[in-house]
Amino acid sequence: MIKIVGLTGTSDILRLLAEHKRMYGEQIKRALKKKGSIENRLKELERLGIIASEVEDKFQGKKWYWLTEKGRKIARHVREIEKLMESP
């Protein structure tokens, strides 16, 4: 679990979903300007119960993502750690 938080893109995904509540996968990819690694990261975060998803349109592949309660707690802790690391 701790390992995934340190992986590229994870804290960015957590931050985006904390700010926007729900986002399409494509919105997340556009915001982060990364494609492949983000898709894998989303799958892993969902497997761990940090985010959840719902397919809105299976024909167009539109899928919503949002933080679970567990994910919201983790996102808060990640923000606190980032603030600590930024301070002198």
Q: Over the stretch 25-38, which tens digit does the pLDDT of each residue have?
A: 999 999 988 766 88
State how many domains the chain has.
1
Residues whose CB is less than 8 angstroms from the CB of residue 13 and which lie 6 or more positions away in sequence, other chains included: 28, 32, 38, 41, 42, 45, 51
Please indicate, yes or no, whether the overall pTM of this predicted structure exceeds 0.85. no
Q: What's 70's domain CATH number?
A: 1.10.10.10
Over residues 56-71, the pLDDT tens digits come to 877 777 899 999 999 9
Indicate if the pLDDT at residue 88 is higher than 80. Answer: no
What is the domain range of residue 56? Answer: 2-86
Q: Report the run of H or E that residue 41 belongs to, with start and end.
A: helix 36-47
